[in-house]
């Protein structure tokens, strides 16, 4: 449910080279930050490989992946990878699935005619596999023949849908554990999403310039009052190092 005191996190943007990840993880843990979120943008770091490294290098950080573009992965493979991390690091993984940037999906030959249909089918398959079910699917894009995971997680991780459009947000409330909104600065965007997603979890990325964090606490409170359960701060692409933002967040939470 929504909360006026949301959980908070920081984005490790993929514009930072992967070898900087461990220093950022150590900085976040030392500062008492609760969550570190990762992107999977083409053609930068892989989301789940980066998440595995961050989880292995930390003791208590929750690692979020937001988001995994579903055209790039067979849902059985996605479920296998998510389940592996969820079993090794129970309670410390959150994953968001989404359409991906359509130009990039076309660039790698993975674009589909109906991204919404693919997302719905992919989400249903991954969710069922993580729940330990045997999946038989003959959809428009997802075809699985009696597929089941040998090692499903005892407790599946939170599975979100990333998006901003009303159809995608509605799908998140109907078929996932919640929604991940991108680049939110206006609390009204959160309020409208809350109406569509219902009581499901609502997480929101919000862009923040680490050189000006004077209103950081007020920004977080405003988005929480509007219905965000988790507020994740993302720095600008031209200053991707999140450590100054980690310090600013630690000072206000």
- CATH class as words, domain 7-252: alpha beta
Residue ranges with strand state E in the chain? 7-12, 35-38, 62-69, 93-98, 135-138, 143-147, 158-162, 178-181, 201-207, 230-234
Proportion of the chain in helix, strand, coil states, percent, rounded to 5: 40, 20, 35
Distance CA 169, CA 127 (A): 17
- Token readout for 87 is 């079993």
Kindly report, residue by residue over 150-165, the tens digit of the pLDDT.
999 999 999 999 999 9
User: What is the DSSP code (8-state) at residue 67?
Assistant: E
Residue 2: per-residue pLDDT? 46
Distance CA 82, CA 157 (A): 8
Kindly report, residue by residue over 11-43, the tens digit of the pLDDT.
999 999 999 999 999 999 999 999 999 999 999
Q: pTM for this structure? A: 0.96
Query: Secondary structure of 108-137 in the HEC alphabet?
Result: CCCCCCCHHHHHHHHHHHHHHHHCCCCEEE
pLDDT at 214 over 90: no
């Amino acid at each position: 449910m929504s909360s006026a005191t949301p959980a908070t996190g920081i984005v490790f943007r993929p514009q930072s080279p992967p070898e900087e990840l461990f220093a950022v993880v150590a900085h976040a843990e030392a500062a008492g930050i609760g969550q570190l979120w990762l992107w999977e943008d083409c053609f930068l770091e892989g989301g789940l490989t980066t998440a595995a490294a961050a989880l292995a290098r930390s003791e208590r950080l929750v690692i979020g992946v937001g988001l995994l573009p579903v055209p790039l992965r067979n849902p059985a493979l996605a479920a296998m990878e998510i389940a592996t991390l969820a079993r090794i690091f129970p309670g410390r993984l959150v994953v968001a699935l989404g359409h991906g940037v359509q130009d990039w999906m076309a660039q790698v030959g993975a674009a589909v005619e109906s991204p919404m249909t693919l997302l719905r089918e992919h989400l249903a398959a991954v969710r069922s596999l993580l729940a330990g079910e045997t999946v038989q699917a003959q959809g428009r894009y997802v075809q699985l023949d009696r597929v089941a995971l040998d090692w499903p997680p005892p407790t599946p991780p939170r599975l979100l849908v990333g998006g901003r459009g009303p159809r995608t947000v509605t799908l998140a409330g109907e078929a996932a554990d919640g929604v991940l909104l991108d680049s939110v600065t206006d609390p009204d965007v959160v309020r409208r999403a809350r109406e569509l997603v219902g009581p499901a979890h609502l997480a929101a990325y919000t862009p923040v310039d680490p050189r000006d964090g004077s209103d950081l606490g007020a920004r977080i409170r405003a988005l929480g009052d509007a219905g965000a359960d988790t507020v994740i701060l993302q720095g600008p692409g031209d200053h991707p190092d999140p450590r100054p933002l980690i310090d600013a967040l630690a000072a206000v939470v």
